[in-house]
Structure 1
Amino acid sequence: MTRDEHLEFCRRCLNRKFDSNSGIICSLTGQIAAFEKECCDFKIDESVKIEVDDQELLGHSEIKEKLPTEIFEKLRLEQNLFGAIIAGFGTAIVCAILWSVFTVTLKFQMGYMAILVGAGVGYVMRRIGKGIDQIFGFFGAGISLFGCLLGNFLSIIGFIAIANDLGFLETLILFDYSQLTNVMSETFDIRDFIFYAIAIITGYKLAMRSVTEKDVKTFKKNL
């Protein structure tokens, strides 16, 4: 029996115990399950109801645990971190420019644009990078934050340009960057913090390849 088949029993057994290194183990033996067909010590836990959602996304550790080593390593070889980073930064810059255009045109600071930045960056990084390692998520979060800050900054430059009857590029060149931190902090409020946080989380989650229980079953069938 495979580890997954063992776990189907172990998750419903009263003798189960969680170990930080091995996951679910037997409290009687202190080891992971090794039985064939059935376990003589199995005692069903009636309070446990297992519902398998084939569409639920799996985390990195779950993917590594559920997929055969051969398939997991094959997916890792398909990863393209450099391409994902370049595409992520490109998307962040485009989103930041659109953010500033809408904000200056409507004369309203739209903090929720940050969420779109995170979603855009994450989605593009996932498509290009095909990453299952957490490093993709970390870069997705960081680049999303960069896009949010850039969008906010470009919006400020736009407002300054209009107020002083200057061109955008001219204002960008003449701006006193020693005052950047002060200017950014003056326009920042709690709502921005919330939207930025959502953008970072979204960028992190979407930047990694989506693998579901259904995908795991398909991979195993094609092995």
Structure 2
Amino acid sequence: MTREERLLFCKQCENQKMDLKQGIICSLTGAPAAFEGTCDDFVDSPEKAALHQSHASPEVDGSDTVILSPEELEKYRSEQNLGLGIAAALGTGLVGAILWATLTVATGYQIGYMALAIGFGVGFMNRQAGKGIDPIFGISGAIIALVSVFLGNIFSIIAIASDELQSTFFETLSIIDFSLLFQVMMDDFSPIDILFYGIAAYEGYKFSFRTFEKA
């Protein structure tokens, strides 16, 4: 058995304890579990299993979790900066929306994949600046990603209109009828747009969390 397979049992066992150097160890032996198949000393403890679940943070590759001790959890929480994370995410989202509009005018196509890039960028910058591990970082990242993609769509429509009218972006913005703007968005809306919005929100959420290397 691998250590990961044994840990699935240990995390639910009453006899486990946390060692800052070795990770989860057996309180009876003072060493990491070494059993094969089943452990004769296993005592089920739903409370400890729930505790470990609440202390789980995202792994770098997104396929596993790293267990943090209460001390580590408190340390990383003290390093969080929600305001800075949101500011960085908002700035990235705005830049992404403007870039999307610029590419739309340059290519003549509204490239939907830009929504995915915006979602990733928002989440990544939220994580880098905010160093968050609490759910609020993911929630804010998802919301900012959605708003940024929405703005990207609006900016693209205005940019196309300004190109056709041979006027500047801000001149077009000052005279445009927003009721018509939203009507154009609805007319152009397709099921694939829902997918892009959904993936962007997921990326904004997932990539907003601080990641940790496995010991």
**TM-score, scaled to structure 1:** 0.71
1:117 is displaced (CA, Å) by 0.3
> For the Cα contact (< 8 Å) 1:58–1:210, is it kept in 2?
no
Higher RCO (CA < 8 A, seq sep 6+): 1
Q: 1:90-143 CA deviation, whole Å, 9 max, x = no partner?
A: 110001000000011100110000011011111111110000111101111111
| Matched ranges for 1:90-169 at <5 A | 90-169=91-170
- SS state at 2:109 partner: coil
Q: Count residues in correspondence.
A: 180
Tell me how far apart the structure 1 counterparts of residues 77 and 63 of structure 2 sit (CA, whole Å).
15
1:10 is displaced (CA, Å) by 6.6
Query: Over the residues paired in the alignment, what is the CA RMSD in angstroms?
Result: 2.7
Residue 19 of structure 2 is aligned to residue 24 of structure 1: no
Alignment partner, residue 8 of structure 2:
11
Alignment partner, residue 40 of structure 2:
40
Question: Residue type matched to 1:195 in 2?
Answer: F
Question: Residue type matched to 2:97 in 1?
Answer: A
> For the Cα contact (< 8 Å) 1:57–1:211, is it kept in 2?
no
Tell me how far apart the structure 2 counterparts of residues 177 and 55 of structure 1 sit (CA, whole Å).
43
1:167 is displaced (CA, Å) by 2.1
1:160 is displaced (CA, Å) by 1.3
Question: Residue type matched to 2:128 in 1?
Answer: R
Identity in percent: 41
> For the Cα contact (< 8 Å) 1:58–1:211, is it kept in 2?
no
Question: Residue type matched to 1:151 in 2?
Answer: G
Question: Residue type matched to 2:101 in 1?
Answer: S
Alignment partner, residue 78 of structure 2:
77
> For the Cα contact (< 8 Å) 2:104–2:160, is it kept in 1?
no
- Going from structure 1 to structure 2, the CA distance change for 1:55 and 1:120 (only over 3 Å counts) comes to closer
- SS state at 1:208 partner: coil
Question: Residue type matched to 2:40 in 1?
Answer: C
Tell me how far apart the structure 2 counterparts of residues 205 and 182 of structure 1 sit (CA, whole Å).
32
Residue 69 of structure 2 is aligned to residue 68 of structure 1: yes
- Quick check: 159-168 or 142-151, which moved more? 159-168
Tell me how far apart the structure 2 counterparts of residues 72 and 181 of structure 1 sit (CA, whole Å).
45
1:179 is displaced (CA, Å) by 3.4
- Going from structure 1 to structure 2, the CA distance change for 1:58 and 1:132 (only over 3 Å counts) comes to farther
1:178 is displaced (CA, Å) by 3.1
Alignment partner, residue 173 of structure 1:
174
Question: Residue type matched to 2:12 in 1?
Answer: I
